[in-house]
Chain A
Amino acid sequence: MAVAEFLLAVVLCAGDPAGGEIPHFDTEVMPVFTKAGCNAGACHGSAAGRGGFKLSLLGGDAAADYSTIVHQLEGRRINLARPADSLLIRKPTGSLDHGGGEPLEYEGKGAKLLESWIAAGAPRGRRRKLEDLSIEPRRAVVSPNDKSVPIRVTARFDDGRTQDVTDWTVFTAADSSAVEIDAAARTATVRRGGQHVVIARFLDRVLPLQFIAPIGDAPVDLSQSPRRNFIDDHVLAALQTLRLPISPPADDAMFLRRLSLDLTGRLPRPEQIEKFLADDRADKRERLIDEMLDSQEFVEFWTWRLAQWLRIRSGPNDAAGTQAFHAWLKRQLKERRSYLEIAEEMLTATGDSHTVGPANFHRAAGDARGQAEYVSELLLGVRLRCANCHNHPLDRWTQDDYHGLAAIFARMERGQFVRFGPRGEVTHPATGEPAVPRIPGTRFVEGKGDHRPDLAAWLAEKDNPYFARTVVNRLWKAMMGRGLIEPTDDLRETNPAMHPELLADLSTDFVKHDYDLCHTLKLIAASATYARSSETLAANAGDDRFYSHALSRPLEAEVLADAIADVTGVKDAYTGRASQKDAPETTADRAVRIIDPAVPAEALDILGRCPRTESCETPAATGGGLTARLHLINGPVVNAKISSDDGRLRKLMAAGRSNEEIICEMYSRALGRPPRDDELLHWTRAAVKAASPDDRRRFFEDFCWALLNCREFSTNH
């Protein structure tokens, strides 16, 4: 009788259980463990289990767990005669000492479900699989007055049944201070304005839910704000919802400096500034974008940027290849080759890496697994690493994907001569057998041959959601200072974009335009979103991700060093060789022209250049910060240059330029704009106090030093 009551309760709570009465082990009992956290990595889900009881991580293996629970310890974990006395119930409800506390409420829903399952004889039941999981809502905009949203999760199984599984779904808010999930009331309450993600997990499915709540107090009307292309439509729509007002457009000088830094890595020259400010054609900004994309400086700077993405760096005895790779990459950009073709050529390259540039792509990582990680991060923007040892807990990636992708590269020979060799395999740790080559997340590939062309072909396939999105996200980040998805090598459904439709449209548009990097760069540069001022309003100052104003970001180490050289008129000479035996001595007169970051350049290291030994996604840790500050204050990088006899300052003084002329020229070079009247007045007044020529020299040295140490100079804003 009691059992019947329990079952009734279960029916009421969990909807319609499969088979009518008896909870189904794989699809109803297992979720109880996951929901309570029993099979989490920190508890019984750890590789060694806990307290002699081991469950599969997050319930990945129902068969094993069934056996563990029902058969191990001679079945002592369950008590068929007195179900409520089963260890399986008494431990987690706290009636027996349990190292993991009381994850299950005494006589709560979960405990009762377990009890009724044991009462029924603890059967495994017939196989039943989850076919589809749907969540309502997947994306919710909450109103300022009512910030609670009901959530409902429905599972459809392969026996045709659908069930409400809300109670057994695990919800995890990425930011627990922003969204609170009330499991009993089955609601999500948004506590803070912004765009927040909650991850829902049921059985093996993981889905993100997005909640959007206004940040501003008062509605904003952005319907009349300027729009240049679809980027602006998407961004403004989101800002409208979030009630974030936009900063005014950047003036011409700010726009020019920003664009020049983003596309060419250089500050604009005074004559460029003068010409652009004087130009009164309506389409002058668009012309400027085209001009810059066509320039040699663009090719040079974006070769550097792509070399960062590709982590081009000489390995042991590998310096000659680095030169070839870099030269090849530069040619691709110069010829404005499609990014797809660039990727395909690298993926399928073979030959002498000292002459065949793209062949070095296969030497970036030491072995097949390393290459699988490198390729997935670079070309797909996903981190497969987790799936080396276990299926990725927050993504679709499995060990089959990881080792299958590695298997594609297993036969690569990575010496000077890169070729697809006769043998080589990758052992799948779960089976102990050679892993079967696999296009990640998609299909196994048949046959013994070289499957790199299959992989390359897949990049362009319609159902490949990664390749194009990863590139446009990186382009967006380079231009806007923050990716639509961050980090840019961690694309997954559970790490959704800030503006998902924008990313989708950018990516579709990129594909439609033959994967042309310049096309997308131009699209971004031409948008009103790109052209906003970096000056914030009181109401949008806290925004760092919705693009209500331009983001002010520090100049990258190489760009900063080059900018200092350009302002002071003293060139650098980066001469040296990487430590390798065959490394040729190389000279570069600009930091972005350095081909191999293994070439020593102390100043750049201090300023925080990326050594490219790993992904350059995160800023360098050893440089930058206070260390870089000290170097800019006391080091030669600024001091030696401002006082150099060949430097700009000395030359201007020797040419008899007036105080005002010098101030204006240095302002223009460092800040990309002429001084305002109040500034000019301030500095000319200060300058006339210098009595002797030596005083005057020192005054201007100090003035230039301050220009190179002020915030306006050292940021791209």
Chain B
Amino acid sequence: MRSEKDNAMLTTRCDGVTRRDFVKVGSLTALGLSLPAFLRRRAAADDKKLPVRAKSCILVWLDGGPSHLETFDPKPNAPVEVRGPLGTIATRIPGVQLSDCLPSVAGMLDRVAVIRSITSPLGEHNLGAVYMLTGYQPTPVLEYPTLGAMVARVRGQSDALPANIAIPSFSVGGGRITGQGYLPATCRPFSVGGDPAKPDFRVRDLDAFPEVTEERLARRRQFVQALDGFARGADTSENAGDPQFEQAYRLVTSPEARRAFALSDEKPKTRERYGPRTIGQSCLLARRLVERGVPFVTVTNVGWDTHQNLYTRLKEGYTGAKVGVGLVPLMDQAVSALLDDLSERGLLDETLVVVMGEFGRTPKLNTDAGRDHWPRAFSVMLAGGGVKRGIVLGESDSVGESPKERPVTPADLACTIYTLLGIDPALELHTADGRPVRVNQHGKVVEEIVA
């Protein structure tokens, strides 16, 4: 017998073959999947040890809600109030067009996957961001961890570098999401706190205070451990110390960690390739971090909440710019450089790159030449580890208003990302008060984009 909740969620379960799946198998052959292959795939989801297709994930978070119509899902044939002021260009996939501000991504579209039918009911920054970043719709009962925190929790931290790092900071969805959810504070994204595009970039507070030598820092740590030990009373069996303090201590005393953040070690040519702005240099730093085994890096790019003057903000950057330095061209350069660079270093196959924001924008331009929030249909780009190359999945309707086919929920997306990272969506974790919670509850792997 199914429980009440399962009944409601029948259509969107992440694991288990339901009766409907068998009913549907008939139509699967049309997709090139035989029944045994289909079942094998489903069986894989039940196996606790999923294959790790991607060791790391770089999430390029376009905060504020990027317009799908000006990026991955342009509507060149729609009326002008929908089409908007930007043009479109052909891509490496015949018949698929992108915004003309994405020439580099268009040139490598045969190596990435784009989903054009993401759909969410949540059109407010915080709520939408929580859903996209956790795979769970927000509820007051429990705060869910973000993708990065979950990865940090399951994968753990191997050395001095935190497992979940945000560049320049984890300022998303209006800045009120810690990302930690019900997990320990050590899973929280670590904001590097400086702008990698600045010549004097350094991670805030990574360097010791003047006169504080390594020996003194070691002694200070001993003292803290002694004080924490005294506070716990006679119980000296627990000698591990405050996990967050220990995490910080490891980070500040590690020369390797310091080197990971040293962007100046990169060749000038490499730095140029990513573009001089924050998003480019952040992506470059993200590459350095995954190279050193950090499993989850968020690159936060702010400013996508384009209620006004969308043309200037997305394309030009400033009014009358000859070469566009708006959000989209800068993202185009950064993301394409990242993919190429990862690929040249042989890292792309083990690094999952995801480009997304909390929602799309309204199909019709508003009176301020901008677009407002629109969660019902928008796009996400994925590439790298475990992702099929050259696929555009799903479709929005003629004006980008609703998914026309293959709707994909943020829960499905999270389920897919976890699966690609080898994290079983059905894995149960426990909150501080013992409540079991699955890594992902309501999602289903988007099999079409899995290589």
B176 to chain A: which residues have CB within 8 Å? 614-615, 618, 620-621
Do B434 and A182 have beta carbons less than 8 Å apart? Answer: no
Give the residues from 603 to 630 in chain A that come closer than 8 angstroms, CB to CB, to chain B.
606, 611, 613-615, 618-622, 624-627, 629-630
- Determine whether A315 belongs to the interface, using a CB cutoff of 8 Å to chain B: no
Do A183 and B204 have beta carbons less than 8 Å apart? Answer: no
> What is the distance, in angstroms, from B41's C-beta to the closest C-beta of chain A?
19
Do B433 and A542 have beta carbons less than 8 Å apart? Answer: yes
Do A621 and B190 have beta carbons less than 8 Å apart? Answer: no
Measured CB to CB, the nearest residue on chain B to A389 is B123
Scoring A residues 621 to 648 as 1 if CB is less than 8 Å from chain B, else 0, what string do you get?
Answer: 1101111011101111001100100000
> What is the distance, in angstroms, from B152's C-beta to the closest C-beta of chain A?
11
> What is the distance, in angstroms, from B357's C-beta to the closest C-beta of chain A?
16
Do A629 and B245 have beta carbons less than 8 Å apart? Answer: yes
B188 to chain A: which residues have CB within 8 Å? 624-626
User: What count of chain A residues pass the 8 Å CB interface test?
Assistant: 82
- Determine whether B252 belongs to the interface, using a CB cutoff of 8 Å to chain A: yes
Q: What is the bound-complex CA distance between A383 and B48, given in angstroms?
A: 40
- Determine whether A232 belongs to the interface, using a CB cutoff of 8 Å to chain B: no
Do B140 and A486 have beta carbons less than 8 Å apart? Answer: yes
- Of A335-343, A448-456, A674-682, the one contacting chain B is A674-682
- Determine whether B40 belongs to the interface, using a CB cutoff of 8 Å to chain A: no
B11 to chain A: which residues have CB within 8 Å? 42-43, 99-101, 103
Scoring B residues 10 to 29 as 1 if CB is less than 8 Å from chain A, else 0, what string do you get?
Answer: 11100000111001100100
> What is the distance, in angstroms, from B411's C-beta to the closest C-beta of chain A?
10
> What is the distance, in angstroms, from A372's C-beta to the closest C-beta of chain B?
15
B20 to chain A: which residues have CB within 8 Å? 94, 101-102
> What is the distance, in angstroms, from B143's C-beta to the closest C-beta of chain A?
8
Q: What is the bound-complex CA distance between A250 and B3, given in angstroms?
A: 45
Do B251 and A630 have beta carbons less than 8 Å apart? Answer: yes
Do B19 and A629 have beta carbons less than 8 Å apart? Answer: no
- Determine whether A97 belongs to the interface, using a CB cutoff of 8 Å to chain B: yes
Scoring A residues 467 to 489 as 1 if CB is less than 8 Å from chain B, else 0, what string do you get?
Answer: 00000000000000000001100
> What is the distance, in angstroms, from B161's C-beta to the closest C-beta of chain A?
11
A170 to chain B: which residues have CB within 8 Å? 4, 8
Scoring A residues 43 to 54 as 1 if CB is less than 8 Å from chain B, else 0, what string do you get?
Answer: 100111000000
Choose one: B179, B220, B409, B433; the contact of A706 (CB below 8 Å).
Answer: B220
Most buried by B among A184, A615, A625: A625
A46 to chain B: which residues have CB within 8 Å? 121, 376
B247 to chain A: which residues have CB within 8 Å? 626, 629
A636 to chain B: which residues have CB within 8 Å? 209
Give the residues from 57 to 115 in chain A that come closer than 8 angstroms, CB to CB, to chain B.
94, 97, 99-103
B104 to chain A: which residues have CB within 8 Å? none
Measured CB to CB, the nearest residue on chain A to B253 is A633
Do B433 and A682 have beta carbons less than 8 Å apart? Answer: no
Given contacts A101-B18, A181-B3, contact A707 B227 (CB under 8 A): yes
> What is the distance, in angstroms, from B104's C-beta to the closest C-beta of chain A?
31
- Determine whether A173 belongs to the interface, using a CB cutoff of 8 Å to chain B: yes
> What is the distance, in angstroms, from A636's C-beta to the closest C-beta of chain B?
7
> What is the distance, in angstroms, from B290's C-beta to the closest C-beta of chain A?
19
Do A627 and B141 have beta carbons less than 8 Å apart? Answer: no
Scoring B residues 211 to 239 as 1 if CB is less than 8 Å from chain A, else 0, what string do you get?
Answer: 11000110110011011101101000000
Given contacts A47-B376, A706-B223, contact A698 B216 (CB under 8 A): yes
- Determine whether B343 belongs to the interface, using a CB cutoff of 8 Å to chain A: no
A626 to chain B: which residues have CB within 8 Å? 162, 185-186, 188, 190, 244, 247-248, 251
> What is the distance, in angstroms, from B134's C-beta to the closest C-beta of chain A?
14
Q: What is the bound-complex CA distance between A175 and B365, given in angstroms?
A: 41
Do A544 and B204 have beta carbons less than 8 Å apart? Answer: no
Q: What is the bound-complex CA distance between A47 and B123, given in angstroms?
A: 13
Given contacts A627-B193, A630-B206, contact A702 B8 (CB under 8 A): no
- Determine whether B169 belongs to the interface, using a CB cutoff of 8 Å to chain A: yes
Do A710 and B121 have beta carbons less than 8 Å apart? Answer: no
- Determine whether A178 belongs to the interface, using a CB cutoff of 8 Å to chain B: yes
Measured CB to CB, the nearest residue on chain B to A48 is B402
Q: What is the bound-complex CA distance between A46 and B219, given in angstroms?
A: 61
A613 to chain B: which residues have CB within 8 Å? 174-175
Choose one: B123, B220, B435; the contact of A177 (CB below 8 Å).
Answer: B435
Inter-chain contact count A-B, CB under 8 Å? 201
Do A621 and B251 have beta carbons less than 8 Å apart? Answer: no
> What is the distance, in angstroms, from A647's C-beta to the closest C-beta of chain B?
14
Do A678 and B1 have beta carbons less than 8 Å apart? Answer: no
Q: What is the bound-complex CA distance between A626 and B246, given in angstroms?
A: 10
Measured CB to CB, the nearest residue on chain A to B13 is A101
- Determine whether B432 belongs to the interface, using a CB cutoff of 8 Å to chain A: yes
- Determine whether A171 belongs to the interface, using a CB cutoff of 8 Å to chain B: yes
Given contacts A625-B190, A706-B224, contact A542 B432 (CB under 8 A): yes
> What is the distance, in angstroms, from B223's C-beta to the closest C-beta of chain A?
3
Do A620 and B175 have beta carbons less than 8 Å apart? Answer: yes
Do A631 and B4 have beta carbons less than 8 Å apart? Answer: no
Scoring A residues 371 to 398 as 1 if CB is less than 8 Å from chain B, else 0, what string do you get?
Answer: 0000000000000010001000000000
B186 to chain A: which residues have CB within 8 Å? 626
- Determine whether B108 belongs to the interface, using a CB cutoff of 8 Å to chain A: no
Do B175 and A629 have beta carbons less than 8 Å apart? Answer: no
Measured CB to CB, the nearest residue on chain B to A189 is B3
Q: What is the bound-complex CA distance between A711 and B238, given in angstroms?
A: 15
Q: What is the bound-complex CA distance between A630 and B204, given in angstroms?
A: 8
> What is the distance, in angstroms, from A201's C-beta to the closest C-beta of chain B?
11
Q: What is the bound-complex CA distance between A702 and B214, given in angstroms?
A: 12
- Determine whether B177 belongs to the interface, using a CB cutoff of 8 Å to chain A: yes
A240 to chain B: which residues have CB within 8 Å? none
- Determine whether A174 belongs to the interface, using a CB cutoff of 8 Å to chain B: yes
A490 to chain B: which residues have CB within 8 Å? 140
Scoring B residues 360 to 382 as 1 if CB is less than 8 Å from chain A, else 0, what string do you get?
Answer: 00000000000000001000000
Scoring A residues 676 to 717 as 1 if CB is less than 8 Å from chain B, else 0, what string do you get?
Answer: 101100100000000000000010001101110111100000
Do B193 and A606 have beta carbons less than 8 Å apart? Answer: yes
Do A679 and B230 have beta carbons less than 8 Å apart? Answer: yes
B432 to chain A: which residues have CB within 8 Å? 542, 544
A710 to chain B: which residues have CB within 8 Å? 224, 227-228, 231
Give the residues from 23 to 55 in chain B that come closer than 8 angstroms, CB to CB, to chain A.
23-24, 27
- Determine whether B249 belongs to the interface, using a CB cutoff of 8 Å to chain A: yes
- Determine whether B7 belongs to the interface, using a CB cutoff of 8 Å to chain A: yes
Do B220 and A705 have beta carbons less than 8 Å apart? Answer: yes
- Determine whether A345 belongs to the interface, using a CB cutoff of 8 Å to chain B: no
> What is the distance, in angstroms, from A628's C-beta to the closest C-beta of chain B?
9
Do B179 and A621 have beta carbons less than 8 Å apart? Answer: yes
B409 to chain A: which residues have CB within 8 Å? 42
- Determine whether B437 belongs to the interface, using a CB cutoff of 8 Å to chain A: yes
A639 to chain B: which residues have CB within 8 Å? 209, 212
- Determine whether B291 belongs to the interface, using a CB cutoff of 8 Å to chain A: no
Do B193 and A629 have beta carbons less than 8 Å apart? Answer: no
- Determine whether A41 belongs to the interface, using a CB cutoff of 8 Å to chain B: yes
Do A630 and B230 have beta carbons less than 8 Å apart? Answer: no
Do A635 and B209 have beta carbons less than 8 Å apart? Answer: yes
Measured CB to CB, the nearest residue on chain A to B27 is A97
B139 to chain A: which residues have CB within 8 Å? 174
Do B401 and A48 have beta carbons less than 8 Å apart? Answer: yes
- Determine whether A37 belongs to the interface, using a CB cutoff of 8 Å to chain B: yes
B436 to chain A: which residues have CB within 8 Å? 177
Do B3 and A102 have beta carbons less than 8 Å apart? Answer: no
Most buried by B among A619, A707, A710: A710
- Determine whether B180 belongs to the interface, using a CB cutoff of 8 Å to chain A: yes
> What is the distance, in angstroms, from A535's C-beta to the closest C-beta of chain B?
8
- Determine whether A355 belongs to the interface, using a CB cutoff of 8 Å to chain B: no
Can you identify 6 A-B contacts, CB atoms within 8 angstroms?
A102-B20, A178-B435, A182-B1, A631-B204, A633-B248, A682-B226
Contacts A176-B5, A194-B433 aside, 17 further interface pairs with beta carbons under 8 A come to: A36-B7, A42-B12, A48-B402, A101-B11, A170-B8, A174-B139, A176-B3, A184-B1, A620-B176, A624-B178, A625-B191, A630-B204, A633-B248, A636-B209, A707-B227, A710-B231, A711-B231
**Top 10 closest A-B pairs, CB basis?**
A706-B223, A710-B227, A629-B248, A639-B209, A630-B205, A181-B4, A101-B20, A712-B231, A625-B188, A634-B205
